[in-house]
Chains A and B, each alone.
Chain A
Amino acid sequence: MRRGGRAAGLVRHAALAALAAVYLYPVALMVVGSLKPDASVLPELATWRGLFPERVSLQNYRDVLARVDFLRYLASSAWIAAATVALGLAVNAPAGYALARLRWRARRRALAFVLALLVIPFEAVAVPLLYQVSWLGWRDTYTAQILPFAASAFSIYLFYSFFLDLPRSLEEAARVDGAGPLRAFLLVALPNARPALATCAVLTFLAQWGSFLWPLMVTSGERVRPLPVALAAFHTLPPLAWGDILAFAVMMVAPVVVLFLLFQRWFVEGMAWTGARG
């Protein structure tokens, strides 16, 4: 597609570059700030030294690791996110499939129920959920942070619409070829649902990695505390050292970036698929 000439193209690129700069500026401040002495982070924030420091060091990172048990938080976050993703795929894919393909009595009502759940924000159910979790004796556990997020209306809907679009003849061929309904799902439908699996995995992972409110509500100690809550706690831990806080933040974001680089193809595949559906 070609609209306008070279000049129009330049203007468009300039506009996009400006927009990108707005988004990247805080990220750059975070990275640069984490490498500067604590005392110079805030005073230099609005100056050009904010982005181009006099000297850099990894001292802040050493300080974070010495002051708190960062690796424990990291492990907690990783476990919570990974377990939710695994459980989520195991639960939501079959649920979406059942809604899209199987014939059962309450199917339409179940679908309407799932759609209705989509519009309920988590904050609305957070307090009742807290009661429930407390009653079960799950406060300060990983279970409380994983289990409520495994089944997800959004993911179920995602799989539902994906399986609707998958040619039915694939599973019919599998049935005629000798597979029962379960094997037709596991061996034919599921392996062909990679874009949906990728999207669901990515979105669940990101949501759990960045989740703050709920872990704050159900965790009180250090034992099962994930990174976002740990960061907030670290913030209030004297002495107030902005360089350390930014170093903490960088270390919290880094695993996501690494994962993104490793699984870039999956991220893009998943996003492209959701995007294509409009």
Chain B
Amino acid sequence: MAELRLAGLAKRFPDGTEALAPLDLEVPDGAFYVLLGPSGCGKTTLLRLIAGLETPTAGEIRIGGRRVDGLPPQARDVAMVFQDYALYPHLSVRDNIAFPLRMRRVPRAERERRVREVARLLGIEALLGRRPRELSGGQRQRVAMGRALVRAPAVFLMDEPLSNLDARLRIGMRAEIAALHRRTGGTFLYVTHDQAEAMTLGERIAVLDRGRLRQLADPDTLYARPADVFVAGFVGSPGMNLVPARVRAGPAGPEAEAAGAPVAVPAEQAGALAPYAGATLTLGVRPEALRVGPAGEGAAWRVAGRCEALERLGHEQVAWVRTGAGERLAARLPARPRPAPGETLPLWAPPGALYWFGPDGRLLAAPAAADAARAGR
């Protein structure tokens, strides 16, 4: 086990596309970090750079203090679980798991002992004699994990290991991977585009977008204090509602207007917004913070809109609402009452739900509660 340290790591492909902008990342020994981002954001490239399957254009990679970016994959002491598992079709499950040991000339008896141990850990002892094609998706996944676990590498790299499984299995395996991490104490770097996976597994999550690291934070912070509009819109399901908001100076501090409706800027956020009088900022409100109905005194922003679509989730529903100003908002509502399509819904947000992002997209102000929640951790 060892810590992983990336410094200024960058990758540009021969055709000129920048897959990864210079990136610094430090994964402490024994930590579980997740790389999260939409497809094409560079997260798999980053993993392949660490594994040695791609050559970086710049920067360095250190594992346990040893610089490895010039070394071939086999000399880096990392294990990788591939998205398609990449099990060796011509070898039995036993020989698949034993392969990394065989490459390191571990004696046969020792190999057998460690394969058994890992198979017991993963509950696949009964499958050791089978070939990969005789296994189900979930079983293949376990074998791929076993092949990575068997030699206790310095770093485990996982490239969307659950994306080929069906939803039920995925949730089960998620819990197992978390348990495996606790039991082995290994350093894990896990790539996914699935935020639920990222939130449940990651101690810390690195959000990537178009080759750039947008935010590195624990799951709570990522949700409560997204660093910019990309993270805000990407994390959460659906992501945060983002609406352009004009700010101007008022007699009692900054005033704002979004989607044609005035926004009462909470006193604790006024200071952050004051310098932006005359500018257009982005107002963010989580779909779960929007309420339906006549607002009481407590509303900071009131906006009405036509219900365009409804997603029924059983215990709740997501209403997609088009405001008069043309903005599209998502609101997470209780399962009842159910709005009719086309019905006009009066929505409102309490003052403790407002996020503000600057003209450059960076977070200016989060709700006070979010800061408190963070401080209380």
| Chain A residues within 8 Å of B, Cβ to Cβ | 167, 169-170, 172-180, 183, 188, 191-192, 194
Could you jot down 11 A-B contacts, CB within 8 Å?
A: A167-B84, A167-B86, A169-B83, A169-B84, A169-B86, A173-B87, A173-B147, A177-B79, A178-B104, A188-B88, A191-B88
Q: Closest Cβ of chain A: how far from B269's Cβ, in Å? A: 49
- B70-84 CB mask vs A (1 if < 8 Å, else 0) is 001110101110111
Q: Closest Cβ of chain B: how far from A173's Cβ, in Å? A: 4
Q: Nearest CB to that of B80 among chain A residues?
A: A176
Q: Are B72 and A177 in contact (CB under 8 A)?
A: no
- B44-76 CB mask vs A (1 if < 8 Å, else 0) is 000000011100000000000000000011101
9 closest A-B pairs by CB: A178-B103, A173-B86, A169-B86, A175-B73, A177-B100, A191-B90, A176-B80, A178-B74, A169-B82
Which residues of the partner chain A approach B78 to less than 8 Å between Cβ atoms? 176
A175 to B88, CA, bound (A): 12
Which residues of the partner chain B approach A180 to less than 8 Å between Cβ atoms? 72, 74
Q: Nearest CB to that of B76 among chain A residues?
A: A176
- Contacts known (A170-B86, A192-B90); A175 close to B100, Cβ less than 8 A: no
Describe B's contact surface by its main secondary structure: loop
Q: Which of B74, B84, B86 contacts A179 (CB 8 A)?
A: B74
Q: Nearest CB to that of A172 among chain B residues?
A: B53
A183 to B104, CA, bound (A): 12
In the assembled complex, B341 has its CB within 8 A of some CB on chain A: no
- Contacts known (A167-B86, A192-B90); A173 close to B104, Cβ less than 8 A: no
Which residues of the partner chain B approach A175 to less than 8 Å between Cβ atoms? 52-53, 72-74
Q: Nearest CB to that of A190 among chain B residues?
A: B90
| Chain B residues within 8 Å of A, Cβ to Cβ | 51-53, 72-74, 76, 78-80, 82-84, 86-90, 99-100, 103-104, 147, 151, 157
Q: Which of B89, B99, B157 contacts A177 (CB 8 A)?
A: B99
Which residues of the partner chain A approach B104 to less than 8 Å between Cβ atoms? 178
A-B contact number at CB 8 A: 62
Q: Closest Cβ of chain B: how far from A178's Cβ, in Å? A: 3
A191 to B84, CA, bound (A): 19
A178 to B82, CA, bound (A): 15
Which residues of the partner chain B approach A174 to less than 8 Å between Cβ atoms? 88, 99, 103
Q: Are A173 and B80 in contact (CB under 8 A)?
A: yes
Q: A167-B86, A173-B87 are in contact. List 13 more A-B contacts (CB 8 A).
A: A167-B84, A169-B83, A169-B84, A170-B86, A172-B82, A174-B99, A175-B74, A176-B76, A176-B78, A178-B100, A178-B103, A191-B88, A194-B90
Which residues of the partner chain A approach B147 to less than 8 Å between Cβ atoms? 173, 177
Q: Are A176 and B103 in contact (CB under 8 A)?
A: no
Q: Are A176 and B90 in contact (CB under 8 A)?
A: no
Q: Closest Cβ of chain B: how far from A182's Cβ, in Å? A: 11
Q: Closest Cβ of chain A: how far from B160's Cβ, in Å? A: 12
Q: Which of B52, B83, B89, B103 contacts A192 (CB 8 A)?
A: B89
Q: Are B53 and A176 in contact (CB under 8 A)?
A: yes
Q: Nearest CB to that of B91 among chain A residues?
A: A191
Q: Nearest CB to that of A169 among chain B residues?
A: B86
Which residues of the partner chain B approach A172 to less than 8 Å between Cβ atoms? 51, 53, 73, 80, 82, 86
Q: Nearest CB to that of B99 among chain A residues?
A: A177
Q: Are B74 and A176 in contact (CB under 8 A)?
A: yes
Q: Closest Cβ of chain B: how far from A230's Cβ, in Å? A: 41
Q: Are B103 and A183 in contact (CB under 8 A)?
A: yes
Which residues of the partner chain A approach B72 to less than 8 Å between Cβ atoms? 175, 180
Q: Are A176 and B73 in contact (CB under 8 A)?
A: yes
Q: Closest Cβ of chain A: how far from B234's Cβ, in Å? A: 27
A183 to B99, CA, bound (A): 11
Q: Max chain A CB contacts within 10 Å: which of B53, B73, B78, B100?
A: B73
Which residues of the partner chain A approach B79 to less than 8 Å between Cβ atoms? 176-177
Q: Closest Cβ of chain B: how far from A262's Cβ, in Å? A: 22
Q: Which of B51, B84, B87, B88 contacts A176 (CB 8 A)?
A: B51
Q: Are A177 and B82 in contact (CB under 8 A)?
A: no
Q: Are A176 and B52 in contact (CB under 8 A)?
A: yes
Q: Max chain A CB contacts within 10 Å: which of B74, B78, B84, B89?
A: B74
A167 to B89, CA, bound (A): 11
Q: Which of A173, A183, A191, A194 contacts B82 (CB 8 A)?
A: A173
Q: Closest Cβ of chain A: how far from B86's Cβ, in Å? A: 4
Which residues of the partner chain A approach B74 to less than 8 Å between Cβ atoms? 175-180
A177 to B74, CA, bound (A): 6
Q: Nearest CB to that of A183 among chain B residues?
A: B103
Which residues of the partner chain A approach B86 to less than 8 Å between Cβ atoms? 167, 169-170, 172-173
Q: Closest Cβ of chain A: how far from B91's Cβ, in Å? A: 8
Q: Nearest CB to that of B77 among chain A residues?
A: A178
A192 to B72, CA, bound (A): 23
A176 to B81, CA, bound (A): 10
Q: Closest Cβ of chain A: how far from B194's Cβ, in Å? A: 20
A177 to B101, CA, bound (A): 8
Which residues of the partner chain B approach A191 to less than 8 Å between Cβ atoms? 88, 90
Which residues of the partner chain B approach A183 to less than 8 Å between Cβ atoms? 103
Q: Max chain A CB contacts within 10 Å: which of B53, B86, B151?
A: B86
Q: Nearest CB to that of A170 among chain B residues?
A: B86
Which residues of the partner chain B approach A173 to less than 8 Å between Cβ atoms? 80, 82, 86-88, 147
Which residues of the partner chain B approach A192 to less than 8 Å between Cβ atoms? 88-90
Which residues of the partner chain B approach A167 to less than 8 Å between Cβ atoms? 84, 86
A177 to B151, CA, bound (A): 9
A227 to B19, CA, bound (A): 61
Which residues of the partner chain A approach B51 to less than 8 Å between Cβ atoms? 172, 176
